[in-house]
Chains A and B, each alone.
Chain A
Amino acid sequence: MKKYLEDLRKELVKQKLTEKEIDEIMADHEEMINTGIDEGLTEDEIKEKFGQPSQLAKELAEDEDQEPAEQEDNDGFELLNSFDVDSATISVNVNLLSEDITYQIGSDSKIKVFYKGNGKVEKYDVSYEKNNFKLLAPKRSGYTFSTRNANGFDFLVELPKNIIIDVLKHVTLSSDSTLLNLEVQQLDINTTSGDLEIDNCKIDKFILHSVSGDAACEDSTFEDVVLSQVSGDFVMEKCTINGDFKGHTVSGDVELKDVSCDNFEMSAVSGDVEGENFYPKKVIFKSISGDLNIKNKEKRYIEIVKKSTLSGDINIS
């Protein structure tokens, strides 16, 4: 066992791993081998279970090599593609797996796509045709298991200034998404576990489907909001909804602070709805065990049209 550890240290030094790395790896192996000895393994059995130190050192060194490159790219985004836009309205179609993405407004009339990360970024389908911008993650055909480069990207999409986006459709598995200062006629977001952040946007129709992703909207105006979530939470702060807010939640909570709207129609299983300075004109609330609490400073009339809950409470004060 001493021999194994000595050999391993030699091999790790040979592979030029840093002292810190070597110490960590050695400590892990001492622990594992000692456990083996405690369990009564013989020298030969340990050799058999642990394999060749040289092979181990080689694989560890390969993994270390991957890292510096990653760190270099962390500093900034690189331009991937740019398109001239001469139309006043465009539509945006994005489909990603786990890449984080930010949408923001640029300083000229171009769509610019920036990325950071490692791997084959050219495999992404990035195009602009007939006023339609697309950013699609590579189709998964077959099985590659190339986990090192999988989804190692973040994207930044700069959209032209003074542009109106008629439809922004965004589908993702676990990407976190941020929308800044956009004007969108229809925003359609579909996320499994990715979080969403909307800041200072003007959105006509906002449709959000989320399984466990959280969503936060701030300083924005909407015409209508349609929300469907399972366990993700939804937070809205300092927003104006000119039309209705319709929502459905299973266990995710909804928090509305300094928000006003026409009809507020919500159905919840166990998710709670908390309102603070939340001024809907009408409330329709259905729940199994979810509560609806609204605490307002100003006294404004809120008409409660329909409420049905099994064990949830409704407090409006």
Chain B
Amino acid sequence: MNAQFKRGIIELCVLSVLVEKDMYGYLIINQLSGFVDVNENTIYPILRRLTKEDYFETYLEESNEGAPRKYYKMTEKGFTYYLQLREEWDVFIGGVYQVINQGGKKNEEIFRRFKKRISQTETD
């Protein structure tokens, strides 16, 4: 997949995870990599950049295991940005689905028509 495009999607995923609750880095990575094929070296740079752009704040909190963990917290600016990105995504993916579902949603149906067309061109 195009790297820039993937980054954008991961950015929206990171925002969506943090809109729900504050989380520390490892947990964010675990959450995302459980659903999407992506690893730390893609997520961390995004997390860091969004923090620098004041979409997230960070704070330290003690953990049961010992060393304190750095938690990421969404700011109001981050939330506005999330809404905007989310809307862009919905518009985009809505358009994509309209295009790919033009022939209907059933694969058998699409395949049947495709086969018919192929055999037509062959007999022509």
Give A residues with C-beta under 8 Å from B: 25, 28-29, 31-32, 34-36, 38, 48-53, 55-56, 59-60, 62-63, 67, 97-98, 140, 142-147, 173-174, 193
Whether B39 sits at the interface, judged by CB under 8 Å, is yes
- Chain B contacts of A52 at CB under 8 A? 41
Whether B108 sits at the interface, judged by CB under 8 Å, is no
CA distance A52 to B11 in the complex (A): 20
B2 to chain A, nearest CB (A): 9
- Chain B contacts of A142 at CB under 8 A? 92, 95
Q: Is the CB of A36 within 8 A of B84?
A: no
In the complex, the number of residue pairs spanning A and B with C-beta atoms less than 8 Å apart equals 90
B59 to chain A, nearest CB (A): 13
Please judge, given known A-B contacts A32-B29, A35-B65, whether A51 and B91 are in contact too, CB under 8 Å.
no
A interface: dominant SS: helix
Whether B31 sits at the interface, judged by CB under 8 Å, is no
CA distance A41 to B47 in the complex (A): 22
Give B residues with C-beta under 8 Å from A: 4-5, 7-9, 11, 24-27, 29, 33, 39-42, 44-45, 48-49, 52, 63, 65, 67, 69-70, 80, 84-85, 88-89, 91-92, 95
Q: Is the CB of B69 within 8 A of A35?
A: yes
B interface: dominant SS: helix
Q: Is the CB of B29 within 8 A of A49?
A: yes
CA distance A32 to B11 in the complex (A): 19
User: Which of A35, A38, A63, A174 is the one whose CB lies under 8 Å from B45?
Assistant: A63
Q: Is the CB of B91 within 8 A of A32?
A: no
User: Which of B39, B80, B84, B89 is the one whose CB lies under 8 Å from A143?
Assistant: B89
Q: Is the CB of B26 within 8 A of A51?
A: no
Closest B residue to A47 by beta carbon equals B39
- Chain A contacts of B44 at CB under 8 A? 28-29, 32, 56, 60
Closest A residue to B40 by beta carbon equals A50
CA distance A52 to B4 in the complex (A): 18
Q: Is the CB of A143 within 8 A of B65?
A: no
Q: Is the CB of A34 within 8 A of B67?
A: yes
- Chain B contacts of A25 at CB under 8 A? 48
Q: Is the CB of A51 within 8 A of B84?
A: no
A122 to chain B, nearest CB (A): 21
